[in-house]
Structure 1
Amino acid sequence: MSGLLFENVTVRFGSTAAVDDVTLTVPDGEVLGLVGESGSGKSTLARAAVGLVPVQGGRIVLDGEPIDVRHGRRPLQMVFQDPYSSLDPRMTIGASIAEILPRHLKRAARADEVARLLELVHLDPARAEAYPLQLSGGQRQRVAIARALAGRPEVLIADEITSALDVSIQGSILNLVRELQAELGLSMLFISHNLAVVRYVASRVAVMHRGRIVEEGPALDVLADPQDPYTRELLAAIPGRIPTSTDNQRSTP
């Protein structure tokens, strides 16, 4: 199967296995939601994919091949939880995005591409000269997404990208994720502690607990008929009801 494959991946910190023999696939052109409480290992798995933490066992491959980061190309790009800390406060947002673009692009082409990416995330291209401090949290997260897309990734990893934002703007970022996935056909690993949020953006869901995947499958199946007690606990913790497929077409959680 094409896509991003974690095959028996183990990540240890000392004697503790933060990720324990995990096998998981992010299918090509789909969004896989990875859900679990804080400390479950989901962010560690994401960081292992982009090379930020070493893997002690197993392998991570893309379309059947080892991930190649030669010549500065990174086929996996990650959007982090805190949009402010992921952007250099000394750089304009246009410069931050341009930094990730292919080096062969000339100056005019780079400016055009920065403008296109800002429009793609629904920001005025004129804001390219603004600094992160001049933007709201939601706007900074849109810039972080545009910056990740500038790398032309084959897989986008989104790690709790709404949890640091005000509730009032979380929905707009989730809508943007859905829109970009539909428009660009993105393959995405979407990480959250909130099953309702994951259900809104993901076609498949994997549940992680104490470093292991305890349940995985189509989102509707997992939410309608959870098989693992931990999944049932996560569902029980959600206030109100789980959005249905019809709800997904008209509202955010």
Structure 2
Amino acid sequence: MSELRFEDVTVRYGSARRPFTAVDGVSLTVPDGQVVGLVGESGSGKSTLARAAVGLAPLHGGRILLGGEPVPRRGRVRPLQMVFQDPFSSLDPRMTIRESVAEAMPPGTSRNERRAEVERLLALVHLDPAIGAALPGRLSGGQQQRVAIARALAARPEVVIADEITSALDVSIQGAVLNLVRELQRELGLSMLFISHNLAVVRYVASHVAVMYEGRIVEQGPVAQVLVEPQHDYTRQLLAAVPGTRPVRSAPSLRKPSPAPTAPTARSSS
């Protein structure tokens, strides 16, 4: 595992005459073995920052470093792995679960070793290894997302980036997936950038949080500090949108975010 560091990262789209800055000079660190939450409204630039980290969005400026070195953009072995919001779209519908997970593994192992590793990974995310023979379309959304997590772990990454991994799931399943994230972090010492629009979810899984607004980090620090004594108006608005917290008067210069549900209660896995 290694520290993931964003240094003054900027991502722009459009032409030189009409550029749109999606990420504007963001600096953020994911320490080794910790979960850092990145929270903000849709359109704030969270997912664009994640896509830049894994090479799916071009950098206009700044650097993304892993263990002090630039993140490699080529080659089969990728030390950063991303779990996407929609689990079904991230899995090849024509490949079995076993094939999808095995495909992500580093080369150099035998067929029997790969099969055993697939079974170990499926058990690690609380799935019956027998499910490996199924196609993704036969699985529930919660099961598909567990497979996506297993697939990311199969690549033996140094950091996992989880982009809104519970927002497409039923509320009854969200809690079980969040509990899995906490369990994996505890057992594997997993380093993760956990992206969400839901401050209650970030509070449940992360030790540190960064708040993103219109492409910039407006506040960051330990979860307990930021949520107890928020310094920025936008952070206070996000906190006020969580049921059960004290309402905060909205600053006139900011859009008020839509209400975010509380962290779901864990139930049996699906």
Shorter-chain TM-score: what band? over 0.9
1:179 corresponds, among 176, 179, 183, to: 183
Specify the alignment match of 1:168 in structure 2.
172
Contact 2:54 2:73 in 1 (8 A): no
User: Residue 72 of structure 1: SS of its match in structure 2?
Assistant: coil
2:88 corresponds, among 69, 77, 84, to: 84
2:25 corresponds, among 18, 21, 29, to: 21
User: Which amino acid letter does the alignment assign opposite residue 36 of structure 1?
Assistant: G
User: Which amino acid letter does the alignment assign opposite residue 22 of structure 2?
Assistant: A
User: Which amino acid letter does the alignment assign opposite residue 240 of structure 1?
Assistant: G
Identity fraction in percent:
72
- Alignment length (residue pairs): 243
- Structure 1 unmatched ranges of 5 or more: 243-250
Does residue 124 of the first structure (1) align with residue 128 of the second (2)?
Answer: yes
Specify the alignment match of 1:217 in structure 2.
221
1:206 corresponds, among 201, 204, 210, to: 210
Specify the alignment match of 1:6 in structure 2.
6
CA distance in 2, matches of 1:53, 1:79: 16
CA distance in 2, matches of 1:179, 1:109: 25
Specify the alignment match of 2:42 in structure 1.
38
Contact 1:4 1:27 in 2 (8 A): yes
Q: Under a length normalisation based on structure 2, what TM-score does the superposition of the two structures give?
A: 0.88
2:152 corresponds, among 148, 151, 175, to: 148
CA distance in 1, matches of 2:119, 2:191: 23
Specify the alignment match of 1:49 in structure 2.
53
User: Which amino acid letter does the alignment assign opposite residue 215 of structure 1?
Assistant: E
Moved more, 3-12 or 66-75: 66-75
CA RMSD between the two structures: 1.1
1:101 corresponds, among 100, 105, 109, to: 105
CA distance in 2, matches of 1:76, 1:157: 7
* Deviation at residue 231 of structure 1 after TM alignment: 0.2
* Deviation at residue 70 of structure 1 after TM alignment: 4.7
User: Which amino acid letter does the alignment assign opposite residue 198 of structure 1?
Assistant: V
Question: Which structure: greater helix fraction?
Answer: 1
* Deviation at residue 68 of structure 1 after TM alignment: 2.3
Contact 1:69 1:75 in 2 (8 A): no
Specify the alignment match of 1:246 in structure 2.
none
CA distance in 2, matches of 1:171, 1:13: 36
- Structure 2 unmatched ranges of 5 or more: 247-264
Specify the alignment match of 1:188 in structure 2.
192
User: Residue 11 of structure 2: SS of its match in structure 1?
Assistant: strand
CA distance in 2, matches of 1:39, 1:65: 29
Specify the alignment match of 2:262 in structure 1.
none
* Deviation at residue 69 of structure 1 after TM alignment: 4.5
Specify the alignment match of 2:242 in structure 1.
238
* Deviation at residue 215 of structure 1 after TM alignment: 0.2
User: Residue 142 of structure 1: SS of its match in structure 2?
Assistant: helix
